[in-house]
Structure 1
Amino acid sequence: MESPELQLAYALDTFYFLISGALVMWMAAGFSMLEAGLVRAKNTAEILTKNVALFAIASIMYMLIGYGIMYPAGGNGIIPEISWSFMFLDAANDHSVEAVLGSDGDTYYSGLSDFFFQVVFVATAMSIVSGAVAERMKLWAFLLFAVVMTGFIYPVQGYWKWGGGWLDGIGFNDFAGSGLVHLCGASAALAGVILLGARKGKYGKDGSINAIPGANLPLATLGTFILWLGWFGFNGGSQLVVSSIENANAVAGVFVNTNMAASGGLVFGLITARLLFGKADLTMALNGALAGLVAITAEPLTPTPLAATLIGGVGGVIVVFAIVTLDKLRIDDPVGAISVHGVVGMWGLMAVPITNTDASFAAQAIGLGSILAWVFITSFIVWLLIKLIMGIRVSEEEEYEGVDVGECGLEAYPEFVGTRGAS
């Protein structure tokens, strides 16, 4: 490859990587709007604070230690061999012109573009936790957990596959993170929810389940569309390069399959809700679309568009039953995050061999189990330590009045609740 051609390919792939990362970063806005729409008005400002703060914490922690753990100098496959030269982005200094040209095309994109693309995935995993523990968790307990999650828990299991660790060695497949991102976030959320307990009034002593409607379904719908858009960067960017005919075709296929899976998830989820509840439940439709997206994320390249639609559709059916089942188990998840990202993330991992003949169900099951076990156990320990040190749940009075006032000292919709102190 001539040097001008090589330089153009390097620039194009770097630019594509950065734009894909920016799309994934925009998913933070999607999670914020979705969660703000599905919680009660009195808890809106606090959940927005969590979402914007966790993104900043994820960026800092992944820069300091997370990236070096996930992409180390070496390791034994399970434990990464940490090199301090890989911390603080020292190993991600951009390649010189001479280094790129001397690599004969093996250096595809800027090192810092790789960091940027990876860090927004970390924030996505942590965003999943936010919605599941909404309306009753202490803000600073959540942010403290975010430090450990994004700096250590997520990077270790990320290393097992994407950093060349033992899961990669056994042939485990997870193209863009049905397991490494979505199941990871849901497992951490489940551990937190178990220790945290349900919201007051959610479950009656007689076994009844009381619906607690969200405050702003238009906002939740907007959040879903933002996530749907961002997912094109999430899955499409995971092809990593776009500067050849083969890779450009692959990216186009990933985009189409991502969209079809979301569509299948929404339609199948909506139909399932109609059959179960007798109504077209908007929240189930929204979660169905997200479930379809999660389901296809493990392998968006090999399915045909029809197969992608069906894989997403199965995810849409699964998520409705998962939400109902978790409620019966008295596991209170205000936004359905554990069902969407955890239960359907499992389906996405196990669906890979259906269309990818290089994958095996055994390797997928091992990867699923190891991610679930590692993240749940370590998260449970961290949540428990935080609970013992500072507590993780707000007081009953704060929960009744809303965590906006207790934790943030302001209200997202002050005109709806009157003016405090007015005569």
Structure 2
Amino acid sequence: MEAGLFTANNVWMMVCTALVFFMHTGFAFLEIGLTRQKNTINILFKNIFIITVGLLLYYLVGFNLMYPGEFNGFLGGIVPGIAPPEGGMTPDYADGGYTWWTDFLFQGMFAATAATIVSGAVAERIKIGPFMVFTVIYVGLVYPIVGSWQWGGGFLSTLGGDEAGFYDFAGSTLVHSVGGWAALIAITLLGARIGKFGDDGKPRAIPGHSIPMATAGVLVLWLGWFGFNGGSVLSADPELTSLVLVTTSLAAAAGGVGAIVTSFITTKNLDLTMFLNGILGGLVGITAGADLMSPNEAVIIGLIAGIIIVLGVSFIDRIKLDDPVGAVTVHLICGIWGTLAVGIFGAKAGIDQFIYQLTGVGAVAVFCCLTSFIIVFALKKSVGIRVSKDEEMEGLDLHEHGMDAYDFSNGQQ
């Protein structure tokens, strides 16, 4: 491979790394926008903790656990550090798509996303200490183990033979559902916020304090998804990269339209939050097969994801689970849909592929539900995971951090 092409591939991958990093800004904006002002510092603290500790954990154990080389297909060994192999900085590594260092950093940006998904779901009532412990274990061990099953050459990648297998291009299941299953378990064990469900059991809206901030967050996430999916091509291949960016954008747009139309039909209301989550649902839905789909198929996948958003949020409310930002619907339910869509649409469509996809969804569900339940339940029984009633009512910013997000005083600073 000529040096110019190798450099171009590596530069594109570094740009995508930056875009995926920028997505954490989007997650932070979205979460604080859809929750109350009194918990803003708490949410921002969790997001910063996830990024910093997540990257360090991926350096210490995650990267080698996720890409162990030769292993039994289920669990690799823990080898600390990220010492590059021979040829790791040359075109001999990764087919000339990028260097070893770029590989680590790009994958490391993905690692923290799973815990960020959980952060939004448990917002406004979880103790900060137990959440930090959960993040360390889940990001450090659970996420890379699941990733190794497919991206690391594990058993999911070889279902049906070398040319078949479970397929997840950029992580509808391996990233989003991993976080979504944990979010589902966490909010089940944590319970709803005070006032979310009335004496009659009916859900009540708890409005966020800044819908403009939430809107900005979604737009940042959409931009970041160009790196999330575009970088998953693992090179700057012109044809495939441009196709992935087209399918990603069309699915996002269709998801937003599908959600707002469905919301208007069911509630006669043009709900901006549904519009926003519809965009995210479309993005999550296309992530598993963005490189396999035609533009028409991407639109269909996005539209269905948008419909799922409205129905899914309503379903979560009906079973009396409290998810302030709609994380379970966006990342888990739409993640499942996008993963199964690989067996229905695109270049790999077929009954065999659908079964492989279903098998992957099931395996990840069992492992993530079991591990997240053990972690969260153990924390609940040992140190407790929920703040007191008074702390919840007054806000976590004051009680967990001793500060306010905004200064509305007229005095001198």
2:320 to 321, 324, 330: 330
Name the amino acid aligned to 2:18: A
**Aligned counterparts, 1:390-409, within 5 A:** 390-409=383-402
Does 2:42 correspond to 1:46?
A: yes
Rounded to whole Å, the distance in 2 between the matches of 1:180 and 1:388 is 29
Match of 2:251 in 1: 261
Tell me how far 1:9 sits from its aligned partner: 2.0
Rounded to whole Å, the distance in 2 between the matches of 1:92 and 1:259 is 36
Residues 291-314 of structure 1: CA distance to partner in whole angstroms, max 9, x if unpaired? 000000000122221211111110
Rounded to whole Å, the distance in 1 between the matches of 2:93 and 2:137 is 39
Match of 1:166 in 2: 155
Report the count of equivalent residues. Answer: 403
Match of 1:376 in 2: 369
Question: Conserved in 2, the CA contact under 8 Å of 1:132 and 1:338?
Answer: yes
Question: Conserved in 2, the CA contact under 8 Å of 1:261 and 1:310?
Answer: yes
Distance change in 2, residues 1:96/1:158 (3 Å): closer
Match of 2:306 in 1: 316
Rounded to whole Å, the distance in 2 between the matches of 1:35 and 1:396 is 22
Does 2:237 correspond to 1:237?
A: no
Rounded to whole Å, the distance in 2 between the matches of 1:136 and 1:212 is 13
Name the amino acid aligned to 2:24: A
CA RMSD of aligned residues (A): 1.7
Q: What runs of 5+ residues in structure 1 fail to find an aligned partner?
A: none
Distance change in 2, residues 1:163/1:50 (3 Å): same
**Aligned counterparts, 1:152-301, within 5 A:** 152-170=141-159, 171-242=165-236, 247-301=237-291
Rounded to whole Å, the distance in 2 between the matches of 1:96 and 1:183 is 33
Name the amino acid aligned to 1:168: S
Name the amino acid aligned to 1:256: V
Rounded to whole Å, the distance in 1 between the matches of 2:64 and 2:383 is 30
**Aligned counterparts, 1:358-369, within 5 A:** 358=348, 360-369=353-362
Match of 1:112 in 2: 101
Question: Conserved in 1, the CA contact under 8 Å of 2:285 and 2:337?
Answer: yes
Tell me how far 1:355 sits from its aligned partner: 2.6
Rounded to whole Å, the distance in 1 between the matches of 2:225 and 2:326 is 18
The structure carrying a bigger helix percent of its residues is: 1
Question: Conserved in 1, the CA contact under 8 Å of 2:121 and 2:327?
Answer: yes
Match of 2:25 in 1: 29
TM-score, scaled to structure 1: 0.92
Q: What runs of 5+ residues in structure 2 fail to find an aligned partner?
A: 160-164
Does 2:48 correspond to 1:20?
A: no
Question: Conserved in 2, the CA contact under 8 Å of 1:73 and 1:83?
Answer: no
Question: Conserved in 1, the CA contact under 8 Å of 2:294 and 2:346?
Answer: no
Match of 1:127 in 2: 116
Question: Conserved in 2, the CA contact under 8 Å of 1:93 and 1:112?
Answer: no
Rounded to whole Å, the distance in 2 between the matches of 1:224 and 1:325 is 23
Name the amino acid aligned to 2:143: Y
Tell me how far 1:158 sits from its aligned partner: 0.3
Rounded to whole Å, the distance in 2 between the matches of 1:402 and 1:94 is 53
Percent identical? 43
Tell me how far 1:237 sits from its aligned partner: 0.3
Rounded to whole Å, the distance in 2 between the matches of 1:358 and 1:207 is 44
Residues 123-142 of structure 1: CA distance to partner in whole angstroms, max 9, x if unpaired? 11111111000000011211
Rounded to whole Å, the distance in 2 between the matches of 1:26 and 1:146 is 20
Rounded to whole Å, the distance in 2 between the matches of 1:181 and 1:411 is 32
Question: Conserved in 2, the CA contact under 8 Å of 1:92 and 1:115?
Answer: no
Rounded to whole Å, the distance in 1 between the matches of 2:229 and 2:254 is 17
